[in-house]
Amino acid sequence: REVTTFKTFHTEIKRFFLAYKFALSEIETKINILKEEFKMIHDYNPIEHVSTRLKSSKSILLKVQKKELPPTIDAIRENIRDIAGVRITCSFVEDIYKVSEMLHNQCDIEIVDVKDYIADPKENGYQSLHLIVKIPIYMSDRMEKIYTEIQIRTIAMDFWASLEHKIYYKYNKDMPDHIRKELKDAALQAAELDRKMERLNKEINILKEHDIEPSLFGDTP
């Protein structure tokens, strides 16, 4: 009898994670379609890179404790909304909003929440646009809507966030003040770099529009 109970539990857990894996495949396909189609029409690719990850059961349990949730599958399914995570890196800030708009326009994606940490960066300097979405998954006997977190950021924001993440855990979440301050300065510099690159890109696009060789305007080879 105990063996049967364990088998049922094991199957339930496997099905639980499988649904998130399918959600990631669905979103990845959608993003790749957007990427290819946009590139074909506009001869330009707003998406540099896409990565996906499934949250580990250890991280899920830590979040259950942090949020003081009952450790049931239903509570986890409803309250932990980043078990399936997608990260999209774009070249420019304006591309982030373009990609977000394209996702908003897909009628089978339900936008549940938007956190704009670009318009309103976190206290430590973190910037990104987060979309919490629900995506339908069709299985042999049922349809489920699965929460997925989509983080959209520039390459500079991504560089900052991955380093900050490592430092944060290196200091066991208790960073010395001077490092905290330097990281915040670095985030401001990353934002300035993004603005500079966007300005340059606009300038180049104007030259292209008027069919002027950029080399005629400067000493670039």
Binding residues for ligand 0O2, per CB under 6 A? 55, 82, 115, 122, 124, 126, 130, 161, 164-165
Q: Which residues pair with 47 in a beta bridge?
A: 90
And the tokens for 210? 């008027």
* Residue 95 or 164 with smaller CB distance to ligand 0O2: 164
Interacting residues of 219 by C-beta distance below 8 A, sequence separation 6+: none
d(CA 50, CA 103): 14
* Residue 121 or 207 with smaller CB distance to ligand 0O2: 121
User: Is 27 in a helix, a strand, or coil?
Assistant: helix
Exactly one of 94, 149, 182, 192 is catalytic; name it: 149
User: What minimum distance in Å lies between the beta carbon of 55 and ligand 0O2?
Assistant: 6
d(CA 167, CA 122): 17
User: What minimum distance in Å lies between the beta carbon of 164 and ligand 0O2?
Assistant: 4
User: What minimum distance in Å lies between the beta carbon of 141 and ligand 0O2?
Assistant: 30
Distances in Å between the alpha carbon of 35 and those of 7, 23, 48, 208? Answer: 42, 18, 9, 22
* Residue 38 or 82 with smaller CB distance to ligand 0O2: 82
Amino acid at site 124? N
Interacting residues of 215 by C-beta distance below 8 A, sequence separation 6+: 221
* Residue 35 or 130 with smaller CB distance to ligand 0O2: 130
Interacting residues of 24 by C-beta distance below 8 A, sequence separation 6+: 52, 54, 84, 86, 148
User: What minimum distance in Å lies between the beta carbon of 51 and ligand 0O2?
Assistant: 11
Interacting residues of 20 by C-beta distance below 8 A, sequence separation 6+: 54, 83, 84, 146, 148
User: What minimum distance in Å lies between the beta carbon of 89 and ligand 0O2?
Assistant: 14
149 is catalytic: yes
* Residue 45 or 124 with smaller CB distance to ligand 0O2: 124
Q: Which residues are catalytic?
A: 149
